[in-house]
Structure 1
Amino acid sequence: MTTPSKKTLLFDLDGTLVDSFPGIRTSFLHTLHEKNWEIPSEERISQVPGPPMEWTFQDLGMTPEQAQDALQTYLEHYGQVGWDLSEAFPGMRDLLIRLKYEGFRLCTATSKGEFFAEKVLRKFEMFDLFEFMGAATDNGNRRSKSAVIKHVLDSVGLDEPNDILMIGDRSHDIEGSSEFGIDCVAVTWGYGSKTEWDAARYTVSTAEELERIIHDWA
């Protein structure tokens, strides 16, 4: 089976392809302990994956300068410990293999920094399945999901929103893609909430449902 025209799928990483929460949580809590900062509720901690980490630190009351300092502590610990605590979500690598074989163009669009995004993708043998890895800059202006998506569109030369589909789990994926007129599939095995998912064009709860939606869309 091949797609009638070149269709592009943009995949979020954390909460979509990979369960990175255990490592993110560990490094996040380590950072707050190091900075003697108040530990938020588990409900709040569960919402940490997705947006740039410095945004989260500021949301907890840190100044931009404190947040940047905390980010460096977080990245150091995540590089030593956190990144390797991830696990691939069941069925996602096999789905990527099938979609690539069928002729879909696969790209990532993740707010994770480029260095760790590549490490995680390589750990789970997904890196070579993607035509382009769109990720945030570890130190730079490309931090928001919309900035990452724009980077992918510009780098790959994509200009037809109807031929592009975003797959993610948080409001940042849905809102970021909508800025470019791109529909989004919300996956409920990630870290978002029903309120976030309700804003997406499609919602799925298994890799099998996602595959079916992609084929219907294409």
Structure 2
Amino acid sequence: MKTLFFDLDGTLIDSAIGITRCVAHALQAMGEPVPPAPALRRWIGPSLRDSFGPLLGDAARTEQAVLHYRDRFETHGWAEHEVYPGIGETVLALSQAGHRLAVVTAKNEPHARKIIAHLPFGHVFQDIIGATACGRLSHKPELIGEAFARLGRSSGDTWMIGDRHMDIEGANHHGIGSVGVLWGFGEEAELRAAGATHLAARPDDLRGLFSA
């Protein structure tokens, strides 16, 4: 049995519309110009404070922007996503094969739990580990560490599955395997440079990687 930590945005769901609309809402509320759509997509993956901080240059304004983002996400953004084709079937097959599954995401944990609860395969995840509102947990090394604290280390292998370099770097920090998925928001070069153990071009590839 393996323990498989799944990222959420860009791995299980295509959440670009919800995230970018919430970022735009927060920037407008702060009186800041809204970047074009390609630039907004770069906000997908990092923690909100890491993204808003350099732009706003002030801790108090950064916290206010995070609140504006979360206000819209709570009412609208959480539902503005699509499930990647094939990922639901793959997740169910991995669970049926006896692997232990959890979600480890930089998204605010209550929002992540709300999304997972509405996914048709969400019930197979033993836990959802996400960022804390105060920022204590916000980066992948911390989040993976929290996952180990809650679930304990498996007697088998543990793997982090995600689409951005932060997922791979978090796995490397804890000395666990990683799979960079190519259907999300990261690029192959990014995932290779971060040191991904394996790459997966489509969800069904994960079945082959974890069949043994």
State the partner residue of 2:121.
126
Alignment pair present for 1:70 and 2:65? yes
Mind listing any 5+ residue stretches in structure 2 that lack a counterpart? none
State the partner residue of 1:208.
204
Preserved contact between residue 23 and residue 84 of structure 1 (Cα < 8 Å)? yes
For residues 129 and 65 of structure 1, the distance between their equivalents in structure 2, rounded to whole angstroms, comes to: 39
For residues 52 and 193 of structure 1, the distance between their equivalents in structure 2, rounded to whole angstroms, comes to: 19
Preserved contact between residue 2 and residue 154 of structure 2 (Cα < 8 Å)? no
User: Structure 1 vs Structure 2: percent identity of aligned residues?
Assistant: 31
User: Given the two structures, how large is their TM-score scaled by the length of structure 2?
Assistant: 0.93
Amino acid at match of 1:21: A
State the partner residue of 2:130.
135
**SS, match of residue 60 in structure 1:** helix
TM-fit CA distance, 1:159: 6.3
Alignment pair present for 1:101 and 2:96? yes
| Pair 189,59 (structure 1): closer, same or farther in 2 beyond 3 Å | farther
TM-fit CA distance, 1:140: 4.2
Question: Can you list the C-alpha shifts for 1:132-163, whole angstroms capped at 9, x where unaligned?
Answer: 22211123401111111000111111166x71
**SS, match of residue 142 in structure 1:** coil
Preserved contact between residue 118 and residue 127 of structure 1 (Cα < 8 Å)? no
Alignment pair present for 1:8 and 2:28? no
Alignment pair present for 1:44 and 2:39? yes
| Pair 48,140 (structure 1): closer, same or farther in 2 beyond 3 Å | closer
Question: Can you list the C-alpha shifts for 1:66-119, whole angstroms capped at 9, x where unaligned?
Answer: 111100000001111111111111111111111111100001111111111111
Preserved contact between residue 140 and residue 167 of structure 2 (Cα < 8 Å)? yes
Amino acid at match of 1:24: I
Preserved contact between residue 53 and residue 62 of structure 2 (Cα < 8 Å)? yes
Preserved contact between residue 90 and residue 206 of structure 2 (Cα < 8 Å)? no
Preserved contact between residue 164 and residue 185 of structure 2 (Cα < 8 Å)? yes
TM-fit CA distance, 1:44: 2.4
State the partner residue of 1:35.
30
Which stretch has the larger CA shift, 58-67 or 79-88? Answer: 58-67
State the partner residue of 1:3.
none
Amino acid at match of 1:55: D
Question: Can you list the C-alpha shifts for 1:7-52, whole angstroms capped at 9, x where unaligned?
Answer: 1001000100011110001111111111111323433211111111
Amino acid at match of 2:190: E
Preserved contact between residue 166 and residue 177 of structure 1 (Cα < 8 Å)? yes
For residues 57 and 118 of structure 2, the distance between their equivalents in structure 1, rounded to whole angstroms, comes to: 33
Preserved contact between residue 9 and residue 106 of structure 1 (Cα < 8 Å)? yes
For residues 69 and 185 of structure 2, the distance between their equivalents in structure 1, rounded to whole angstroms, comes to: 20
State the partner residue of 2:171.
177
State the partner residue of 1:152.
147
The Cα RMSD (Å) is 1.5
User: Given the two structures, how large is their TM-score scaled by the length of structure 1?
Assistant: 0.91
State the partner residue of 1:188.
182
Preserved contact between residue 3 and residue 154 of structure 2 (Cα < 8 Å)? no
Preserved contact between residue 165 and residue 182 of structure 1 (Cα < 8 Å)? yes
Mind listing any 5+ residue stretches in structure 1 that lack a counterpart? 1-5
